[in-house]
Amino acid sequence: MALSLGVLLTEPLRRFALSHGITDRPNDRKGHARPTPYLGGIAVAVVTLTTGAVTAFASGFGNPGLAVLLGGAAIMAVLGLVDDLHPLPPALRLGVAAAAASFVVFVGGHPTIFGGVFDATFAVLWIVFTTNAFNLLDNMDGAASSVCAVICGFLCWNAWSSGQAGLGLVLVALCGACLGFLLHNWHPARIFLGDSGSLFIGFTLASAAVVLHKDSAGLTAPAGLLVTTLVATVDTALVMLSRYRESRPLLQGGLDHASHRLRRTGLTEQQAVTVLWAFAGLGGLSGLLLAQGVLPPGVLLPAAAVVGVAAVALLLRVPSMPGPATSPALPAGRTASGGERSAVRVR
């Protein structure tokens, strides 16, 4: 149902956005070549909240923690929509995300690592970080929605295995909504998620992962949380480190993400996104095997950290900005996406 509604609802939202000029216009820091509407996240949020929440609570699987999680996710979707229409200060966005995450952790629970207030603080900070990491990951056609769908599949399996059926229903609804939206968002994208969608899926996934690990202790929770969202974590670390080294604004958009660097290695846009969701699938499978007791957390956590550091180090070797020698070949008569003809300083 979620997949079907995701397909059907996205198209009228696309037409509405086009008719009202709600589009993301290309510039030298973006990878698309023409104005593209970005209300797709509203379709994902509405479909997930409607099908997932109604089914979960109607089936008797609802609980206060799940209600707070969905309420926080809805707030993030509205916050993102406002930011799409009228850009908000980063401090305000972070403050709202932190408040919503705090309610989720207070009501839904959190894992135990060291005990005391540190564990709750860690959970809140991790939700806020992952929410914004998915906002950054939404930088190429199909990237964020496909990665979200893959992670949701494994988290849903984990939720059902651990007896959290209500959360499993919400996650499978989010997976279906993302797949339905992906039919419109796969390259060449006809509509974007926008901040409303990227903040919504990031918050929902992060909160669901924290709630799923609320009974975990020791290294199990950090290992499970890291491998589940390793793709978004690597991309954020890569971008922040690259911009810091090059003395560029950390919060300013650019063509220096993992997906863009994969493109500069010779991959097509579809192939680059496929690498991302395949990587996400390996992380999701590792998290599931951890939850089933197959993989020990003492081995998985350092292994995931090594893989993440290695991925960042390898991608840093790929030029962060496109140039004549690094831009992929384009069809005749077509410029690089987002006006990538700007001059590049070579040091």
Known binding positions for Mg(2+):
135, 195
Confirm if 209 and 225 have CB atoms less than 8 A apart.
yes
Three-state DSSP class for residue 81: helix
CA angle 155, 135, 246 (to 5 degrees): 125
Angle between helices 117-137 and 194-212 (to 10 degrees): 150
Token digits of residue 345: 């300083």
Pairing of strands 36-37, 23-24: antiparallel
Q: E strands along 31-187, which residues?
A: 36-37
What is the C-alpha to C-alpha distance for residues 277 and 281, in angstroms, rounded to an integer?
Answer: 6
Buried b (16+ CB within 10 A) or exposed e, 241-265: ebbeeeeeeeeebbbbbbbbbbbbe
| Binding positions | 135, 195
Q: Could you tell me which of 104, 107, 98 has the C-alpha nearest to residue 125?
A: 98
Confirm if 223 and 300 have CB atoms less than 8 A apart.
yes
What is the C-alpha to C-alpha distance for residues 308 and 300, in angstroms, rounded to an integer?
Answer: 12
Token digits of residue 299: 């081995």
Chain-centroid distance of CA 321 in Å reads 23
**CA 292 to each of CA 65, 230, 287: distance values in angstroms, whole numbers, following the listed order:** 23, 19, 9
Q: Could you tell me which of 136, 298, 142, 158 has the C-alpha nearest to residue 233?
A: 136
